[in-house]
Chains A and B, each alone.
Chain A
Amino acid sequence: MSGKDRIEIFPSRMAQTIMKARLKGAQTGRNLLKKKSDALTLRFRQILKKIIETKMLMGKVMREAAFSLAEAKFTAGDFSTTVIQNVNKAQVKIRAKKDNVAGVTLPVFEHYHEGTDSYELTGLARGGEQLAKLKRNYAKAVELLVELASLQTSFVTLDEAIKITNRRVNAIEHGELSVIIPRIERTLAYIITELDEREREEFYRLKKIQEKKKILKEKSEKDLEHRRAAGELLEPANLLAEEKDEDLLFE
């Protein structure tokens, strides 16, 4: 396939302008994509780091929470069944919000509270303080986990976005699209060459014509001289000369 050719277009000033604009467009597009890829990758790495930190922290928080659960069970007996049977409405829920990085929309979670503690009505009065501590620990764990979930969703979304952007960058750098910019450049070069050539031809032609005219003029003047010398030529009629005008009927 002769993909290395130039674009078929008649070389004119207009074509040159069009090609210049197209070249600029393609180059700008490629640069923007690269910038976008870089920005996304940077944010990606930041988020990854934060995820790892947060997951380590979560490990600690969960251990504490599990410990306080064991303590509470020791004091209050096994209340698991009671808790599980008495589920009704959630007091902690989450909302999805949108964040934006380099033109990519990232989903993030925000937790909020709704309603009152449904376990207040159950017979969990025994073990009071420890139970309260337990609830606090798990509430803290939930908050941390919601933050972690936000980081994670951003992470996954960015992963996809970066893959897509890099695919497009690669298409421009190495793939079929990599012939477009050189192709436009070649077309531009061709147009400029043709225009220059034409100008030179015009100039040359004009010069030739001028020379010819000059020669013709010189020739006809020489002719004139000869005929005057030979007395053949009459003076051409002079409109301004005082002569009788034949068209006037009345004097």
Chain B
Amino acid sequence: MAGRGELIAVIGDEDTVTGFLLGGIGELNKNRHPNFLVVEKDTTINEIEDTFRQFLHRDDIGIILINQYIAEMVRHALDAHQHSIPAVLEIPSKEHPYDAAKDSILRRARGMFTAEDLR
């Protein structure tokens, strides 16, 4: 059974956000709150964390895209998110290619497989 339509949110540098907005995912909700955050040089970690948490709590966001280098800054907030929805996807940016070793999701699997090997 399909559920309500949900949004794809994005937290990234200007280029990443621009690109995805052109891809058609951007929306302002009825409170004029956007489903994206442009992270600039002077954006504080707190701001990023707050926005991330807000996105997690909104019930109309199903996926959160986040540049991996930004994810690193708020790694603890990502690791704390145990639910499967919203899905948090770490994506590369122009300066920082994707590194599988840092991905929160894949690190979970590695934990699991250590236990498997021991059995």
Contact = CB atoms under 8 A, between A and B. Distances in A.
Contacts of A131: 22
Given A48-B109, A95-B2, A97-B2, A55 B22 contact: no
Given A80-B15, A83-B18, A95-B5, A145 B105 contact: no
B8 A58 contact: no
Interface in B11-30: 14-28
B103 A55 contact: yes
A152 B112 CA distance: 15
Given A51-B106, A58-B98, A152-B105, A84 B21 contact: yes
A92 B26 CA distance: 8
- Determine the main DSSP class of B at the interface with A: mixed
Chain B interface residue bracket vs A? 35 or more
Contacts of A52: 100, 106
Interface string B57-93: 0000011010000000000000000111101110111
A155 B105 contact: yes
B112 A84 contact: no
A94 B60 CA distance: 10
Contacts of A141: 19-20, 23
Given A94-B5, A94-B8, A145 B91 contact: yes
Interface stretch (A59-67, A205-213, A231-239): A59-67
Interface string B25-63: 111100000111010000000000000000000000011
A154 B25 CA distance: 23
Nearest to A93: B5
Q: Closest 7 A-B residue pairs measured CB to CB?
A: A138-B23, A91-B24, A149-B87, A90-B27, A87-B26, A153-B84, A156-B84
Interface of A: 41, 44, 48, 51-52, 55-56, 58-59, 62-63, 65-66, 69-70, 79-80, 83-84, 87-98, 107, 109-110, 112-114, 117, 119, 131, 134-135, 137-139, 141-142, 145-146, 148-150, 152-157, 159, 162-163
